[in-house]
Amino acid sequence: MQVNLTGRTALVTGSTAGIGAATAAALAAAGADVVVNGRNADTVAEVANRLGVRGIAADVGTAEGVAEIVARVPDVDVLVNNAGYFGAMPVFDIPDEEWRRIYEVNVLSGVRLARHYAPRMVRRGWGRVIFVSSESAIQNPTEMVHYGMTKTAQLALSRGMAQEVAGTGVTVNSVLPGPTLTEGVREFVQSLYPDLDFAGAEKQFMTHNRPTSLLGRLIRPDEVANLITYVASEQSAATTGGALRVDGGVVTAIIP
C-alpha cells in the first residue's frame, strides 16, 4: 500500500520531538505539505529546516497560541492533535492548577483546533482529524491519573466529533500508543532506575511497570507514526470514530 498525501496540508502539534516529529517526517515523506509546531521558536525552526517543512512556534495549550496558528494556516486537510505532556504525581497531591493546565494542553488544544478546522474540512468534503491519545486512556496509570483522565477525554471527543461529521468525507479518530521511546519517556524511565544504563532501565520498566506488553520493549516513535500516516490517508476512508491501538499489546482487553 502506497500512501500519497500530495496536495494535502497537515498540521502536527507538539511535533519537535518524539511521536510528533516522527509523524511530521512520515507525512512529509508521503508528500504532504507539513506544518510542525512547538513552543520554542529555535527548536521549531531547526526541525522545520531538517524536514524541509513549515514551522510555527506557538503554545497550543492556550487560546492565544491556537489563534496564532489558525491565523497563519487557515485551512488544513490533516490535523494531528499530538501536543501534550505527562508527569508522575500522587493523585491526591495534584493541585487545581495542574489539573487545569494538563487539561488545557492535552484536551482543549485539540478542541480549539478541531473547532476551527473540521467545519472547513466538511465544506471541502475531505479531511482527517487525529487525536494522539494513549493506552493510558483505557487503563489509567496510578502514578499519573490526571494524564490518563485527559487521554480518556480525547476518546470521547474524537467519537463525538466523528458523529458530528458523519457522511461528509471527514473522519475523526484517536490513536492509542503504548509506552513509547520519546525523549520525555526516556528521561522518566531513566529517573526510575538511575543506577542502570538505559537498556537495563527499559527492561526493568517494562517488566515491573508494563508487564502485559507483548513486545517487551518500548515502542519506537516511527512505529506510531506509521499508523497515524495510514489514518491520515485516502485508504483509511472507512475508519472513523475509532480508538486505534498501537500499544505493543500492553492492553489486555480485546476491545478497543
Cell of 83: 501536543
What CA–CA distances, in Å, run from 141 to 62, 168, 180, 187, 218?
A: 26, 36, 15, 18, 16
Where does the chain have alpha helices with state H?
Answer: 18-29, 41-51, 63-72, 96-103, 109-124, 145-164, 183-192, 198-208, 221-231
Cell of 97: 492548577
Are 11 and 129 spatial neighbours (Cβ–Cβ below 8 Å)? no
**Maximum distance among all alpha carbons in the chain?**
56
Of 157, 64, 175, nearest to 118 by C-alpha is 157
Of 53, 99, 45, nearest to 80 by C-alpha is 53
- At position 122, the amino acid (one-letter code) is V
Residue 11 dihedral angles phi and psi, to the nearest 5°: -110, 125
The yes-or-no answer on residue 147 being catalytic is: yes
Are 181 and 225 spatial neighbours (Cβ–Cβ below 8 Å)? no
Are 90 and 147 spatial neighbours (Cβ–Cβ below 8 Å)? no
Dist CA 20 CA 80 (whole Å): 8
Dist CA 255 CA 112 (whole Å): 29
Which residue is catalytic, options 103, 117, 147, 230? Answer: 147
Cell of 147: 494524564
What residues act catalytically?
147
